[in-house]
């Protein structure tokens, strides 16, 4: 995924949530001052591998086998803690620093790559936490146009950004432990973000020619939501 392809969806997300592009760009620029280049090859060779994109829904505990059996495990946010507590190694963590940045910092110091995301609402966390990360193992990302050492491989939430990152580096098959688009415990804002995560995963699924089990029963509605964006 390159930014030119992602930008129409990004604009639609901004419009839907009322987010300001300039705020994302400001966060990106702050992060760029703190980041160092991260060659994506440093993630390891995921080409042709089964990659588990672990979400942080409560069902992750029941889906642990999917992560344990995968070749590569990419954890979204607090999924990293759940996996590690159950003896599953994390090969990459994706986070916007809002819940467990201390885990992310620790992972970088252990030589585990972390994709740390800068957006309009988390500049204080970016300033506080990026200097605590090991630069060698920190990939800094944005949802705005990439600049300097800050990358954008697609996606919006931690989970779907993890999936787009895996796709970008050639993952062979994606599996999705710990995902629940209908989690009743989340608030209205998180529910809206999960709706967008589902749309983005449907877009990714179509591009890959793959079928993600977590989208079963949703594809018609997701295609209808995507059509006016992608057909502009």
Residue 180: per-residue pLDDT: 97
Distance in angstroms (rounded) separating the CA atoms of residues 161 and 167: 10
Query: 41-92: per-residue pLDDT in tens?
Result: 999 999 999 999 999 999 999 999 999 999 999 999 999 999 999 999 999 9
Confidence of residue 1 (pLDDT cuts 50, 70, 90): confident
How many Cα atoms are found within 13 Å in the side-chain-facing hemisphere of 209?
Answer: 1
| CB of 155 closer than 8 Å to CB of 165 | yes
Confidence of residue 232 (pLDDT cuts 50, 70, 90): low
Residue 229: per-residue pLDDT: 94
pTM for the full model?
Answer: 0.97
Residue 8: per-residue pLDDT: 95
Distance in angstroms (rounded) separating the CA atoms of residues 130 and 133: 5
How many Cα atoms are found within 13 Å in the side-chain-facing hemisphere of 38?
Answer: 29
* Phi/psi at 177 (5° precision): -70, 145
Residue 212 pLDDT exceeds 90: yes
Write out the H or E segment, with its range, that includes residue 65. helix 64-69
* Phi/psi at 33 (5° precision): -70, -25
Residue 88: per-residue pLDDT: 98
Quick one: which of 75, 1, 4, 18 has its CA closest to 189?
18
| CB of 150 closer than 8 Å to CB of 86 | no
How is the chain split into domains, by residue range? 3-230
Quick one: which of 3, 2, 8 has its CA closest to 230?
8
Residue 231 pLDDT exceeds 90: no
């Amino acid at each position: 995924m390159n930014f030119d392809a992602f930008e129409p969806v990004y604009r639609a997300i901004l419009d839907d949530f009322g987010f300001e592009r300039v705020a994302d760009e400001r966060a990106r620029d702050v992060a760029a001052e703190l980041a160092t280049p991260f060659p994506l090859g440093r993630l390891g060779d995921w080409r042709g591998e089964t990659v588990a994109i672990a979400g942080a829904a409560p069902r992750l505990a029941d889906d642990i086998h999917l992560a344990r059996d995968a070749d590569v495990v990419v954890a979204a946010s607090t999924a990293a803690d759940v996996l590690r507590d159950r003896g599953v190694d994390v090969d990459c963590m994706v986070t916007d620093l809002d819940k467990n940045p201390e885990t992310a910092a620790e992972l970088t110091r252990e030589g585990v790559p972390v994709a740390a995301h800068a957006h309009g609402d988390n500049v204080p966390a970016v300033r506080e936490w990026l200097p605590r990360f090991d630069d060698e193992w920190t990939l800094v990302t944005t949802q705005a146009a990439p600049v300097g050492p800050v990358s954008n491989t697609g996606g919006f939430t931690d989970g779907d950004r993890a999936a787009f990152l895996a796709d970008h580096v050639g993952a062979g098959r994606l599996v999705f432990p710990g995902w629940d688009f209908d989690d009743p415990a989340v608030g209205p804002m998180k529910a809206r973000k999960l709706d967008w995560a589902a749309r983005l995963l449907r877009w990714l699924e179509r591009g890959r020619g793959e079928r993600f089990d977590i989208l079963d029963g949703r594809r018609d509605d997701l295609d209808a939501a995507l059509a006016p964006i992608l057909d502009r």
